[in-house]
């Protein structure tokens, strides 16, 4: 049965960045922490940090708003977060749970419009340009999306509405937490001019410092800057900076099947305690490569550039890459090469973190010649789809290598 509340598909022609474009940016509020609170009501109202360990190892993955006010942010070492907010509760990250709920939220968004572009596990753009009534009619759509998410999962979401993706994302920031903000085309200049350049997504601290050297500190000053000067300092990115500041971003909302393929995939793990013995390192590398290979197969990719990352207790980090003779998604191949690399780069020293990645990815359209280090075991690869299917249905622990038990 057709959904009466579904937004009609946007018409042909210009999409995004035009006067008639209406873009929604749906951003889940403190997503990981909100999920934990929804699953355990006893956590409601308490300051939470997801990721890291109470004793100070690892990094913050997410935190609640009251914790952010203390200066804590994602990516911060857990020890530093603990010193800034000692009353916060540390919770382990549960990626599988978050991903499952994210998929359900994407389903809700997809029932609203055909043009949905997820940009991460907790945010997405929606193009509702086919609405009659313009920006005023987009507000009930945003309210309906937020209501459906809360009814199904008990989670808060903020929605920004604007004529471009960049403006919609800026509006969702202003809507937080748990609100709706509209910046129609005629209010773009009013909304942007006095903001610092870092308020616009895509302009980081380094770019802001370079703009500051030119006397440009606000988006209004950037919008009025001399194009030749900006392009001289920033090259081809100069025009993009000007368009962002002027609210002229023309990038369209890409449907799921039109989103560009990833260039790489990786997994990493920070250990509760430094590891140095061979058995612990081998087990960690095995877990990471198995997880990476399964993800590659699930999403239909192979790669030929192995990336290894090791971090020492003093936070010194080494990242090295190696080009393989064939494209692969095989965990035995990745494990053998990654183990060799980790031991070589670690030089016998204790490790705080290990990361394994594969870059230069290509779609697995047909079965290419596979890099096999052990030809006598090539039949093992034929069993991998069966193992993957069992894990998908019954859980990761249903089939595990003995070393990981």
123 is an active site residue: yes
Active-site choice (36, 117, 123, 248): 123
Dihedral-angle region of residue 370 (phi above 0 means left; psi in -120 to 50 means alpha; beta otherwise): beta
Residue with tokens 């069993």: 383
Distance CA 232, CA 240 (A): 13
Q: Which residue blocks in 129-226 are alpha helix, DSSP H? A: 134-153, 165-175, 188-192, 205-213, 219-223
Output DSSP code: residue 42. G
Owner of token pair 């001399």: 226
Backbone dihedral region for residue 44 (phi beyond 0: left; psi -120 to 50: alpha; all else: beta): beta
**Terminus-to-terminus CA distance in the chain, angstroms?**
47
- Is residue 199 within 8 Å of residue 219, measured between CB atoms? yes
Which among 326, 330, 327, 338 is positioned nearest to 379, based on CA atoms?
330
Strand 89-91 relative to strand 48-50, pairing: parallel
Element (H, E) at 340: helix 331-346
Map tokens 């209010």 to a residue.
187
**Cα torsion 229, 234, 240, 245: sign:** negative
Catalytic positions are 123
């Amino acid at each position: 049965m057709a959904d009466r509340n579904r937004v009609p598909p946007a018409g042909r022609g210009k999409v995004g960045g035009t006067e008639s474009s209406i873009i929604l940016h749906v951003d889940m509020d403190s997503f990981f922490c909100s999920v934990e609170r929804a699953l355990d009501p006893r956590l409601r109202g308490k300051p939470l940090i997801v990721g890291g360990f109470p004793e100070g190892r690892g990094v913050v993955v997410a935190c609640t708003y009251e914790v952010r006010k203390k200066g804590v942010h994602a990516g911060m070492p857990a020890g530093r977060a603990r010193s800034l907010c000692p009353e916060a509760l540390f919770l382990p990250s549960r990626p599988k749970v978050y991903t499952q709920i994210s998929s359900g939220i994407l389903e809700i968004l997809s029932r609203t419009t055909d043009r949905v572009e997820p940009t991460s596990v907790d945010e997405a753009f929606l193009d509702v340009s086919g609405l009659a009534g313009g920006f005023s009619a987009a507000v009930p759509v945003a309210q309906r999306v937020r209501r459906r998410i809360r009814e199904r999962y008990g989670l808060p979401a903020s929605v920004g509405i604007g004529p471009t993706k960049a403006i919609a994302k800026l509006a969702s920031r202003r809507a937080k937490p748990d609100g709706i903000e509209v910046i129609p085309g005629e209010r773009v200049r009013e909304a942007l001019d006095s903001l610092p350049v870092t308020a616009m997504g895509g302009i980081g601290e380094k770019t802001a410092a370079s703009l500051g050297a030119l006397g440009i500190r606000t988006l209004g000053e950037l919008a009025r800057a001399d194009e030749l000067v900006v392009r001289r300092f920033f090259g081809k990115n100069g025009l993009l900076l000007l368009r962002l500041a002027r609210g002229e971003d023309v990038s369209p909302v890409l449907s799921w099947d039109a989103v560009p393929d990833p260039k790489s995939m990786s997994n990493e793990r920070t250990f509760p305690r430094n590891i140095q013995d061979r058995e612990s390192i081998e087990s960690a590398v095995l877990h990471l490569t198995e997880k990476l290979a399964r993800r590659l197969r699930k999403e239909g990719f192979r790669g030929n550039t192995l990336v290894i990352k090791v971090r020492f207790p003093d936070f010194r980090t080494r990242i090295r890459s190696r080009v393989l003779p064939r494209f692969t998604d095989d965990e035995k191949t990745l494990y053998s090469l990654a183990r060799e690399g980790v031991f070589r780069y670690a030089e016998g020293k204790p490790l705080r973190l290990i990361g394994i990645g594969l870059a230069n990815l290509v779609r697995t359209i047909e079965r290419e010649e596979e890099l096999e280090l052990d030809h006598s075991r090539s039949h093992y690869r034929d069993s991998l789809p069966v193992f993957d299917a069992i894990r998908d249905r019954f859980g990761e622990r249903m089939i595990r290598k003995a070393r990981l038990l």
